[in-house]
Structure 1
Amino acid sequence: MNKVNQEMDRLDSLLPEWVENSRPESAHGRVAVYIPELSKAQWDLLGISVLNADGRYSEAGDTEFCFTLQSISKVFTLILALMDHGEEAVFAKVGKEPTGDNFNSMMKLELIQPAIPFNPLINAGAIVISSLIQGDSAQQKSERILQFFRKLAGNEHLTVDSEVYRSERETGHLNRSMAYFLLDKGILEGNVEEVLDVYFRHCSIQVKTADLARMALVLAYNGLNPLTGEQLIPRRYVQIAKTFMITCGMYNGSGEFAIGAGMPAKSGVSGGILTFVPGRLGIGVVGPSLNAKGNSIAGVHLLERLSREFDWSMF
């Protein structure tokens, strides 16, 4: 039996027990409430899907739970904007550094000149990135994003959760204020409400953990889908995305996660975490109860334990 199959066999035997061991951690967090629709999620759910290049899944827990990508989508809209415009144009509008602030903070936009968002994974940066997606209308841009995500996930049925989208659009006052501030400073171009519509829609795309694992597998193989042999993303743009995931992908907990798990990762406030072991595995996790940094508290606990057991850390 080869080493890859041995690893998956071990995962098959360990994951069910380890998910149940990590699930009680959910009691120490809380589900997101600032987007009202997300507050309806069952707080103690926890599920994980792990996928290798042979197409073999190892899964345990609540993998049938549907949730929205939220900030996980920012990794892939960044990649799409890079594919549309190239590095120079994109990084004329957003920076490359962690902020040390909350993901929805606009403090440094006011303090630092020019008022360029520090990176594309905070809300201000992701809103700017949304404005850079090619298309003649918000609808066309959103459709391009959805089709790109469907291809990465190998799932033509991915769609926008209309209730979450409506909830975000109706309560996204802070995002709206950031967008108008960026417009005033000449960083954001176009119609603000249309840009925000694109942003709210890609955050509201609904997935399961298996979809995350397959999207992650493409990143693990530097933009190549090992299941089809198709290069979906240029290697250079995956390199850029991976770097941001390490430095900014877990909000203000990115350094802590890098030490604890050592894998590129991106979380979302719906409780999702997309991560991967470069050249080996794509991983999707969901656990709606969040820690103080906005990351799935049980999901982080599970991933850190798995990383130590299987030596998944890059470092």
Structure 2
Amino acid sequence: MLAPEMNQIKKMLPLWLESSKRHCSNGKVASYIPELSKSPIDALGIHIVDSNGHSISEGDAGLSFTMQSISKVFTLILALMDNGEEAVFDKVGMEPTGDNFNSMLKLELVQPGIPFNPLINAGAIAISSMIAGKDALEKSERVLSFLRLLSNNSSLNWDLDVYRSESATANLNRSMAYFLKDNGVLKGEVEHVLDVYFRHCSVSVTCADIAQMALILAHNGLNPLTGDVLIPRRYVQIAKTFMTTCGMYNASGEFAIQVGLPAKSGVSGGILTIVPGRYGIGLVGPSLNRKGNSIAGVDLLQSLSQQFDWSLF
């Protein structure tokens, strides 16, 4: 049986979703990764799950999409579990940049030449090098197993078409990776590290998978449905802080004001959002605004947060 607020959400969500969907025509589907350009520009879907496992789906929630930058939250957590805070933040900073997610400008301009945070591309590439494993495939399989555990979906896998498309067009990411290697930030062979990075970005999910992962974060690493602690609380705290300050690229401040929830977006149009202690939310809307976030998805989350007073601020 749905709780009163969930009942109200279920009643109003179709109307809000259709209202937000009108914004899709004002954005563009990501095309710099050619395979992503095939995404439906007018799609919008959302899945919300509560602490009792009750859920609501609306719109195109069953659409498969790749995690892209949403995966960076979980590779950060896994790297922290593998190495500890001191080792991770010796190579990656803790600050927002204000720059585009794929910018390498400050790697050279700002000493000591480490990425500003783990959620921009340079930082996530550095983090990918810290995942434990004897080779790129074992590291990638550990990330995949972790995502399967958190989503409670053993069938999660890589979208190999997207993976190959990313790898074939990743000139800028390669430039950053070689620069990081030259600066002593990157562990291991550049191409092996990039392979791990491309694979975790290309994990195929639905909104329900993302919502379940978000629910674990909303409960500080505890799966409320089983009572199992899957992530140390401290590492979830770190991840949620980065999601709040850096999770929506260089629109994170605007998102904090308008929505006020920890979130992480990806250029496939996915957004993972949490209402701490209450809900995990997965959303997809491939039409992106100029900052690389789902244009209709952000609007829908703003409507929900303001209607139900979810903002942390």
> TM-score under structure 1 normalisation?
0.99
- Secondary structure in 2 aligned to 1:60? strand
1:274 is aligned with what amino acid? L
| 2:242 aligned residue | 244
Aligned-pair distance for 1:43?
Answer: 0.1
CA distance in 2 between counterparts of 1:15 and 1:59 reads 9
How do 1:254-265 and structure 2 match up within 5 A?
Answer: 254-265=252-263
1:121 is aligned with what amino acid? L
- 1:223-271 alpha-carbon deviations (Å, 9 max, x no partner): 0010111000000000000000000000011000000000000000000
Match of residue 230, structure 2, among 229, 232, 238: 232
| 1:181 aligned residue | 179
Please say if 1:170 is aligned against 2:168. Answer: yes
| 2:145 aligned residue | 147
How do 1:103-122 and structure 2 match up within 5 A?
Answer: 103-122=101-120
Structure 2 gaps, min length 5: none
- 1:28-86 alpha-carbon deviations (Å, 9 max, x no partner): 11000100000000101000000001100111000110000000000000000000010
Please say if 1:86 is aligned against 2:45. Answer: no
Aligned-pair distance for 1:105?
Answer: 0.3
Match of residue 40, structure 2, among 21, 39, 42: 42
- Secondary structure in 2 aligned to 1:79? helix
- Secondary structure in 1 aligned to 2:238? helix
| 1:272 aligned residue | 270
CA distance in 2 between counterparts of 1:307 and 1:185 reads 42
- 1:195-235 alpha-carbon deviations (Å, 9 max, x no partner): 00000000000000000100000000000010111000000
- Secondary structure in 2 aligned to 1:176? helix
| 2:215 aligned residue | 217
CA distance in 2 between counterparts of 1:177 and 1:151 reads 33
Match of residue 197, structure 2, among 169, 176, 199: 199
Structure 1 gaps, min length 5: none
| 1:102 aligned residue | 100
CA distance in 1 between counterparts of 2:46 and 2:213 reads 14
Identical residues among aligned pairs (%): 68
Match of residue 73, structure 1, among 54, 61, 71: 71
2:31 is aligned with what amino acid? V
How do 1:8-27 and structure 2 match up within 5 A?
Answer: 8-27=6-25
Aligned-pair distance for 1:114?
Answer: 1.2
CA distance in 2 between counterparts of 1:101 and 1:54 reads 39
1:47 is aligned with what amino acid? G
Aligned-pair distance for 1:12?
Answer: 1.1
Match of residue 131, structure 1, among 129, 132, 144: 129
- Secondary structure in 2 aligned to 1:92? helix
Aligned-pair distance for 1:113?
Answer: 1.4
CA distance in 1 between counterparts of 2:215 and 2:10 reads 18
CA distance in 2 between counterparts of 1:161 and 1:16 reads 30
Aligned-pair distance for 1:16?
Answer: 1.2
1:27 is aligned with what amino acid? S
Aligned-pair distance for 1:288?
Answer: 0.1
- Secondary structure in 1 aligned to 2:28? coil
> TM-score under structure 2 normalisation?
0.99
Aligned-pair distance for 1:17?
Answer: 1.3
- Secondary structure in 1 aligned to 2:287? coil
**Runs of 4+ more than 4 Å apart:** none
1:204 is aligned with what amino acid? S
- Secondary structure in 1 aligned to 2:145? helix
| 1:288 aligned residue | 286
| 1:61 aligned residue | 59
Aligned-pair distance for 1:189?
Answer: 1.9
1:77 is aligned with what amino acid? T
2:138 is aligned with what amino acid? Q
Aligned-pair distance for 1:162?
Answer: 0.4
CA distance in 1 between counterparts of 2:14 and 2:157 reads 29
Aligned CA RMSD, in angstroms, stands at 0.8
- Secondary structure in 1 aligned to 2:260? coil
